[in-house]
Amino acid sequence: MNLIGDIAGNFKTLMALLKQMPDAEPIGLGDLNDRGPRSREVFDFFMRNGQSLLGNHEHMMLHHLIGSDYYKDGTWFDAWGSETLKSFKDIEVMDSYIQWLKDRPLFIETDDLILTHAPVAGILKSFNDGLNLGDNYYSEETFTSFIWNYYHPPKRKDKYQVCGHLNQIRPRFFEDDDGDFGACIDTSPSRMLTGMHWPSKKIYQQEYID
C-alpha cells in the first residue's frame, strides 16, 4: 500500500509522488482538498483508484454542500474552501460528489495497520469513541474524533498507526521504549507531500509543483 498524507488539492504533486513509489494501491489519509488548485482532479483520481479516508476538510466541504449547520457559516471558506470551488468551475457539478464524500470511512483497519486522518486520541475510552463527531463543531466529541484530534496517540492493538492532519514540517514517528508504533505523514507546512510505502515503511516525498 502507498499511504499518502494530506494532499490539499495538489494533484500534479500527487502524480509525481506516486511515480516515485512502488506499484501499490494508493490510500489517501484525508484532506484531499482545499489550499491547492486541483482538488477536483484529486477527488476524481481517488474515485477511480485506491481508497481515501474522510478528513476534516472533506467534512467541512460536505456540510457546506448539504447546507448543514454543523459548522458556522464561512468555516469552510476560512479553510481555503474557495480553492476547491474554483477547481470545479461549474458549481452544480459538485452535487454529484456529495454521496461519495458521505461514503468516506473514518478509519481503515487491517491485520497490522490502523489508518485515520487525525491520530487516535489517547484519552478515548474506547477506539470506537473516535467515530463520534458530535452534534456540531463545538461538541466535546469533535476534538477527540478521527478527523479533528490533535492529541498524541498511544499504542493500540499492537498495530502500526498512520495518520495525517498534524501540520508538521517533517514526518513524525510515535515511539515508546520498544520503538516506533506509528507515524504522521502530513508535511503540508513545508510544501511537501509525503507518502509511506507499507509494509516497508519507506518514506517518499515530493515538493509541491501545482
Dump pLDDT digits (tens) for 184-205: 999 999 999 999 999 999 999 9
Does the structure show a pLDDT above 90 at 29?
Answer: yes
Mean per-residue pLDDT for 11-20?
99
Give the per-residue pLDDT at 147: 98
DSSP the chain: -EEE---TT-HHHHHHHHHHS-S--EEE-S--SSSSS-HHHHHHHHHHSSEE---HHHHHHHHHHTT-SSS-TTHHHHTTHHHHHHHHSSGGGGGGGHHHHHT--SEEE-SSEEEESS---TT-SSGGGGG---SSTTSGGGGGSTTT--SPPPPBTTBEEEE--S--SS-EEEEETTEEEEEE---GGGTEEEEEETTTTEEEEEE---
Confidence bin at 164 (pLDDT 50/70/90): very high
Does the structure show a pLDDT above 90 at 78?
Answer: yes
Give the per-residue pLDDT at 157: 80
- Phi first, then psi: give them for residue 193, nearest 5 degrees: -95, 130
Does the structure show a pLDDT above 90 at 90?
Answer: no
Q: Please state which CATH class domain 2-207 belongs to.
A: alpha beta
Confidence bin at 156 (pLDDT 50/70/90): confident
Give the per-residue pLDDT at 41: 98
- Phi first, then psi: give them for residue 192, nearest 5 degrees: -135, 130
Handedness of CA 9, 120, 170, 168 (dihedral sign): positive
Q: In what order do the strands lie in the sheet with 113-116?
A: 107-109, 113-116, 160-163, 179-184, 172-176
Cell of 37: 488548485
Name residue, grid cell 502507498. 2
Does the structure show a pLDDT above 90 at 124?
Answer: yes
- pLDDT above 90 covers a percentage of the chain that reads 93
Separation of alpha carbons 26 and 22, rounded Å: 10
Mean pLDDT of the chain: 96
Mean per-residue pLDDT for 20-40?
98
